[in-house]
A and B are shown apart, each in its own frame.
Chain A
């Protein structure tokens, strides 16, 4: 039975304690609130753009930030990115739009088709996985749309699983400097055109978010992107889940070890120079930003 109120349990925490529906929802909301306060993700007066896909993570993030916004005096709006992935995004985008309309949340739409004159499905395979292209273009789109709409923070639905996967991917690929950019809020890259990025769901697992979104009855179509199967991330995710079931708490341990060394990583890599893209004027590590690189390859 629930450890708090002895109702029927819906979830067992890492400590082996049971939570009922109401206590579990409270636990999730409390965890997000604590993450926001501890890492100062949001301050009074902030204008927070929430990257929205219509999936469980971003919808949960938006739902909870909307709940908190009036009490803690900050503004929110949503940015819906449509990458142009057939049989997938149009379905989740519909959920997202409905949800925003119903909850009176301002919604900005950014479609790859309209803004880049290219959809993800049409990107020619140049040996780069769709998810890599997708990630680069989406980050670019979110940052630009957030800034153009005067956001002071950009929130995404990244969860503990995503973060642990990213860390291991960087390790395995020898890209440890990339990990300096991880963490609950933006790491080292400074540029006047960068909107600080925050991850309120940082300490929640994918499973916790799924349970929450189902219990809250958020209007979500639970489908998977057709590209997600062949990604390296997917493989890492599987391995992590196998470890997690054998050694419960593995993912949390990976994250807390990482957070311990994050300040050192940031120190070491903070001098990475960020310039300006000679084509589009957005932040770029090289002469041309990675988004323009992809777009150039596909014209």
Chain B
């Protein structure tokens, strides 16, 4: 199944093919994103990497930008 993902750092939306029992961490692996460098929200709520996802979820990935 496909899931909609917004990657804030690149300001792009992508449709990603995932397995039915996929979790956030699997999605990050597919996208080759180091989980230490991002936080992820599912349907506007920040979630942990073990959170399951499905095709109806809206996923946003925020990068841990430096400089503060």
Contacts and interface: CB of A to CB of B under 8 A. Distances in A.
A53 B67 contact: yes
Interface in B12-68: 34-37, 39, 45-50, 62, 64-68
Most buried by A among B34, B37, B62: B37
A53 B65 CA distance: 14
A162 B66 CA distance: 8
Interface size class of B (residues with CB under 8 A): 10 to 19
- What's the dominant secondary structure at chain B's contact region? loop
A184 interface: no
B36 A207 contact: yes
Interface stretch (A144-152, A190-198, A218-226): A218-226
A233 B66 CA distance: 10
A210 B62 contact: yes
Interface string A201-219: 0000011011100110000
Q: Chain A at the B interface: mostly helix, strand, loop or mixed?
A: helix
A242 B34 contact: yes
Interface of B: 8-9, 34-37, 39, 45-50, 62, 64-68
29 contacts: A9-B48, A10-B45, A10-B46, A10-B47, A11-B46, A12-B49, A12-B50, A21-B46, A55-B65, A55-B67, A56-B65, A56-B68, A157-B68, A159-B68, A162-B66, A206-B64, A206-B66, A207-B37, A210-B39, A210-B62, A210-B64, A211-B46, A214-B46, A214-B62, A222-B8, A222-B65, A234-B66, A241-B34, A245-B36
Given A21-B46, A237-B66, 14 more contacts: A10-B46, A11-B48, A53-B67, A53-B68, A56-B65, A56-B68, A57-B68, A60-B68, A157-B68, A206-B64, A224-B65, A224-B66, A228-B67, A245-B34
Interface of A: 8-12, 18, 21, 53, 55-60, 157, 159, 161-162, 206-207, 209-211, 214-215, 222-225, 228, 233-234, 237, 241-242, 244-245
